[in-house]
């Protein structure tokens, strides 16, 4: 499991648990068994993520029940097909993720997203495959005005394992109700690691992944 063994996975599991994620979702994110996650986080206080309030909800009709049943079935099938990632699969998955969402400019590693699952996956992957100096990690938060900045910073700090003192000045966007109604309550974050060598190593992996030689004929 790399130079840190499973230490990185244990630490990430504990961070994710503190944010309110269920055991099954943590296990899927980290590519480990649910029983391992349960053991690692058994002493971590757990406060489930609140479901968004939508007023009085009607019972689902037959079409909605069939839709949800299909979604649940396909999720189970997906989990069975993916299973637990091997070392090589974890490496390739992270490279593909960075190829799509990471910064390509030379000088520093930068991954930006609003999905906490993708941010957690990236942080776990980065720490697992590269010798990271934790003091050089930085986070920039993009958050609409009117949303709780302190809560958002605490949320992303717990999720990434990066201290709040390493968060740089946030960007507070002015929401435009004419084009967007839904807002991410915790905003969007960019995780940056300033190291040219690490960035070039990642881009070398991206280049290899996207080369003709890597694509099945």
Q: pLDDT tens digits for 16-48?
A: 887 778 888 787 777 778 888 888 888 887 776
Q: Which helix (H) or strand (E) holds 81?
A: helix 62-82
Give the residue among 103, 98, 107 at the shortest CA–CA distance from 205: 98
> Which uninterrupted H or E stretch holds 138?
strand 137-144
CA–CA dist 32, 85 (Å, integer): 8
User: What is the rounded CA–CA span in Å between residue 84 and residue 90?
Assistant: 9
Give all domains of the chain, ordered by start, each with its CATH number: 1-46+66-83 (no CATH), 85-214 (3.30.1330)
Q: Indicate the pLDDT class of residue 99, thresholds 50, 70 and 90.
A: very high
The first and second tokens of residue 75, run together, are: 């999720």
Cα 85 from Cα 101, distance rounded (Å): 21
Spatial separation of the C-alpha atoms in residues 164 and 158, rounded to whole Å: 9
Q: What confidence tens digit (pLDDT) does each residue in 45-84 have?
A: 777 665 555 555 677 778 888 888 888 888 888 888 888 8
**Higher pLDDT pick, 27 / 133:** 133
Distance CA 143, CA 43 (A): 32
What DSSP state is assigned to residue 167?
B
Q: Is the pTM of this model over 0.75?
A: no
């Amino acid at each position: 499991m790399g130079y840190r063994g499973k230490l990185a996975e244990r630490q990430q599991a504990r961070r994710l648990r503190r944010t309110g994620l269920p055991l099954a979702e943590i296990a899927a994110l980290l590519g480990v068994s649910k029983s391992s996650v349960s053991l690692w986080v058994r002493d971590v206080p757990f406060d489930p993520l609140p479901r968004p309030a939508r007023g009085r909800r009607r019972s689902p009709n037959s079409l909605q029940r069939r839709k949800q049943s299909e979604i649940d079935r396909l999720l189970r099938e997906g989990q069975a097909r993916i299973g637990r990632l091997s070392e090589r699969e974890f490496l390739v998955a992270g490279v593909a993720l960075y190829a799509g969402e990471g910064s390509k400019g030379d000088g520093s590693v930068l991954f930006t997203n609003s999905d906490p699952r993708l941010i957690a996956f990236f942080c776990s992957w980065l720490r697992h495959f590269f010798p990271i100096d934790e003091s050089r990690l930085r986070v920039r938060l993009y958050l609409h005005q009117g949303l709780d900045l302190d809560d958002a910073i605490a949320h992303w700090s717990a999720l990434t394992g990066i201290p709040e003192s390493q968060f740089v000045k946030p960007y507070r966007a002015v929401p435009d109700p004419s084009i967007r109604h839904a807002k991410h309550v915790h905003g969007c974050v960019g995780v940056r690691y300033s190291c040219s060598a690490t960035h070039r190593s990642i881009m070398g992996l991206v280049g290899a992944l996207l080369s003709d030689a890597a694509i099945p004929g």
